[in-house]
Every structure is written in structure tokens, then in C-alpha cells.
Amino acid sequence: MIRGVIYAMGLVWVIGLSISQPAVGQAELVPIQCNETLTESASCPGPFVICDRQYVMEVPEGATKLVIDLRPPSGVNGDWDLDLFVNRGEPVDQNRLDETVIAFADEIGPDTITVSGGNLAAGTYYIAIGNPNESPQPYELTVTLDPCRKCSQEQEHLAQNAIQLEPGRVQTGSVEAVTAGTSSLAERQYAIEITKDTKALAIALRSESGGNIDLHLQRDCALAASSREVVADFSLVSPTGFEFMLIKGAQLKIGTYYLAVENRENIDQQFSIAAAAIPLLSGPFRANSSADGRVEFQGQGLLDFLERLLQTEGGTLALTQYVLEVESGVKAINIDIEGSGSLNVHIRFEKPVEIEDGRVIADVSSLGLSGVKSVRLGGALLRPGKYFVAIEGLAAEAQDFIISFTFERDGTTATVTKRYVNPPPAKGRPQIQIQP
């Protein structure tokens, strides 16, 4: 049993005698794919033991960044502490930590390791979990590789020219007519980013010319067409001029998704396309943000197809959530809302605010029929990390509001103010419409 571990000067030194750790050859090696999240429990007892199970990932030539994130699963409260180790070429060996670890993180709470630039070489990477506790602890492990797959030069060129989809905003385009024996993709494709906080991806495509039009989707690489067909991760090929796609759960992975529109008619067609990754996050805002900052956005409102994903028991959750990055030394945060109608404010630590069967899942909520709310987090309610703030609209009309975040530390304050202006809603539909 290891009696203690010291991490210093970028190296890991082990103190203690009579280490009863299995030989590294006996470690259970579990393959993990890029942009995959696993939820498991550290089965090894502590304290300060490298768990038998290690995760293996192949990093190809051309990869630019590897991010490994270790954190407690949703719903785990109280003190949580596991350590994260990474090596290349061979598994992490507890008897030779100074030789078999290229990076480690041992913070109390979530750990993240990023390997990029000249430090990221092609090869086999091994990820190990260290347990400094007396009992097992559950964890979520997420590995993100950029790019997740090797793209061809043609795909890289198409990706560089892709149009970034603004969440919830309709964009228009055109696609040329089909010629004999070939497929016809729109000249430019579209891209949207999916992060580890994204719960669902919604996409709608409609032909404005009334003809048959298809939608193709692929992660990490733009879509390249052969002379006769398009090869994609997902395709919607119904014989109409409208396509709608909703991806969530295990099918939704971290990374960049590329969308291509294909014409199935012998005439040129105009189309409209819209997409949104939910939740959409704004920030992070930090204590050193410029005082009295203000950014104004003109909104175009939520699309109808998003309403099913944002509907609550009392109204509609805003598409945008705000990320507050709380650093050590911050004494308090004030969150102030001034709106034109009835608003609720929901706050959650380390996880975005969610909806389950209409119920809003949050740690702290300020509820009521007023459009003016003020919430102060301090003392036992405030700790370093990320806080997610979501606004819920309760009225039957769109609501304008201003939201301000004030950080207090060591007698100083810094305020970030954001103003949203929204158009009238669909008649009789309770919603709050926000468009960054």
C-alpha cells in the first residue's frame, strides 16, 4: 500500500514502502474513442493507488490537440477527488511514475489535461486514474481529439470554407441542378460546434423552390462527394423538400459537425437551413472582466422546432445559458435581472441547467411573477469552478431584459452587462426568445 504521493516540479515522486500494486502487464486496458465520454467508478481502494483499469487511445498523424477531462458524474455531491495521469507508448506504471507519466493533474475536484502543439506526437496514449481516497469514487472521463479523424486535402479545403451556423438563426443558400450520373452538393457547407455540455443538436432544412432536397451530416471532416453518392455519418433522404434531424444521447459526440445540402432535382434550388446546439453557452465571464461592459444583440427569436426541447412546466427556458468562471479569491457574485415580464433565474454548479419532464434541474432558483430578480452567491454557496445561469420566461409574449454579473473580490468589483432585444412571439405561445 502506498502511504503518500508527492507531485512536484512536473515530476511524480512516490513515498512509502511495501507497494502492493499489480504489475503493469496485468492492467486492464480499455479502448476509448476520440470525443467519447465514459461514466465509471474507480474500483481500486486508496489511498494513493493507480487503478488497475487504464484507457487506451490511438492518436494519428495530423492531430493538433488532445484534451482529457476527469470529473464527478452529475448528481455526485460533497468532496470529490481523483487524480489523472497520461503517458505515451506504454501504460502508466505506479512503480515508475517518474518514467511513465508525461502529464498529470491532481487538483481537488475536476481535472483536465491538454496536450497540444509539439508535445502531441502520433502514437498510443494511456490514461490512468489515481485514487487518493479510502473508498472508490465514480467519475466521468471525456477524451477530445482535434481533429477526430484524418481528413483529406479536399475535405480540409471544404471545412475552411464552411459557413458557421449561428444557433437558431435561419440562413439561406442555393444548390445547382443535378446532371446525369452525378450528385449535386451546395458549393459551401455549414458547420456547428458540439461541446461536452451539449445535450441535443437540432437541424431543419427546407427547399424554397418546392423540390426534393436532402441533408447530410458528418463529424470532424467536411463531406466529399463521389460522382454518384455522398458518404456521410447521417443522411436524411426523404422525397420531399423538408428535412428535420434531432441528435442526442449516445449518438451525439463532441466535435465539429459539417452539414451538406444535396439537390435531387434537375433544376437549381434555393433553400433555408437552421441549427442549434442546446444548451448554447455564453461566456465564460470572470472577475477580471472589464467594468461596465455592454454588448447588444438584435434577436430573431427561437425557431418553432426548438420549442419542444426548451419547454418547461411554467414557460420556456432560454436557448442561451451563461457560464460564470469563479476563481479563488472571489468573495461573492451578484446576478441581477431586469425584464419586461415574468422571469425566473436558475443557477447550477459545474453542469448546465437542464429540463427533465418539464422540471427545471438547478441548484438555486429565484422564482416569482416579477421581471426583476437579484441573486447573491457567497459564503458556503460559492466555491471555485463554473456556474451556469439560465433564464426562464413565464409570460405569453417575448421579453426584453438586461442581465448583469458583478464579481466581488478583495474590496473591488467588476460588472458585465448584456442586453437582449427580442421580436414579438408567436401568438399565444409562452416563450422567451433569445438570439445571440
Closest CA relative to residue 322, chosen from 203, 225, 173, 197? 197
Four-point Cα dihedral 259, 120, 130, 22, nearest 10 = 110
Nine cell digits for residue 85: 495521469
Please give the Cα distance from 27 to 190 (Å, whole number): 43
More confident residue, 404 or 191: 191
Q: What is the pTM of this model?
A: 0.60
State mean pLDDT over 65-80.
83
Please give the Cα distance from 30 to 27 (Å, whole number): 10
- Does residue 156 sit in helix, strand or coil? helix
The continuous run of DSSP H or E covering 310 comes out as helix 307-310
More confident residue, 382 or 281: 382
More confident residue, 109 or 296: 109
Predicted local distance difference test score (pLDDT) of residue 55: 92
Predicted local distance difference test score (pLDDT) of residue 26: 63
Tell the burial category of 429 from Cβ atoms under 10 Å away from its Cβ (0-12, 13-18, 19+): middle
Closest CA relative to residue 407, chosen from 338, 345, 336? 336
Is residue 270 over pLDDT 90? yes
Please give the Cα distance from 7 to 88 (Å, whole number): 19
Please give the Cα distance from 416 to 412 (Å, whole number): 14
Please give the Cα distance from 252 to 275 (Å, whole number): 14
Range in 47-51, 250-254, 428-432 the model is least confident about: 428-432
Cis preceding linkage at 110, omega within 30: no
State mean pLDDT over 127-147.
86
Closest CA relative to residue 68, chosen from 47, 54, 50, 52? 54
Q: What is the pLDDT of residues 300-327, one digit of tens each?
A: 344 555 666 777 888 888 778 888 888 8
Closest CA relative to residue 432, chosen from 323, 324, 336, 344? 344
Predicted local distance difference test score (pLDDT) of residue 43: 63
Nine cell digits for residue 53: 483499469
Report the percentage of the chain scoring pLDDT > 90: 16
Please give the Cα distance from 2 to 434 (Å, whole number): 54
Predicted local distance difference test score (pLDDT) of residue 89: 92
| Angle CA 39–58–104, to nearest 5 | 60
Which range of 199-213, 237-251, 279-293 scores highest in mean pLDDT? It is: 199-213
State mean pLDDT over 141-166.
86
Range in 3-7, 56-60, 248-252 the model is least confident about: 3-7
Predicted local distance difference test score (pLDDT) of residue 418: 60
Task: With beta carbons less than 8 A apart as the criterion, state whether 152 and 62 touch.
Answer: no
Phi, psi of 16 (to 5 degrees): 125, 160
Nine cell digits for residue 407: 464579481
Closest CA relative to residue 81, chosen from 117, 55, 109? 109
- Does residue 95 sit in helix, strand or coil? helix
Is residue 144 over pLDDT 60? yes
Phi, psi of 159 (to 5 degrees): -65, -40
Please give the Cα distance from 175 to 155 (Å, whole number): 18
Cis preceding linkage at 147, omega within 30: yes
- CA distances 134 to 1, 84, 104, Å, are 11, 17, 21
Q: What is the mean pLDDT of the chain?
A: 77
| DSSP state string for 219-276 | ESS---B-SS-B--SEEE--SSSEEEEEEEGGG--SEEEEEEEEE-SSS-EEEEEEEE
Please give the Cα distance from 51 to 318 (Å, whole number): 42
Predicted local distance difference test score (pLDDT) of residue 254: 80
| DSSP state string for 36-53 | EEEEEE--S--SSEEEEE
State mean pLDDT over 408-418.
68
Q: What is the pLDDT of residues 25-46, one digit of tens each?
A: 467 888 887 777 787 776 666 6
Is residue 21 over pLDDT 70? no
Task: With beta carbons less than 8 A apart as the criterion, state whether 213 and 244 touch.
Answer: no
Q: What is the pLDDT of residues 75-123, one digit of tens each?
A: 776 778 889 999 999 999 988 888 889 999 888 888 999 998 888 888 8
Is residue 295 over pLDDT 60? no
| Sequence-ordered list of residues with C-beta below 8 angstroms from that of 394, at least 6 positions apart, any chain | 314, 315, 341, 342, 343, 344, 369, 430
Report the percentage of the chain scoring pLDDT > 70: 77
Please give the Cα distance from 256 to 247 (Å, whole number): 14
User: Confidence band (pLDDT; 50, 70, 90) for 194?
Assistant: confident
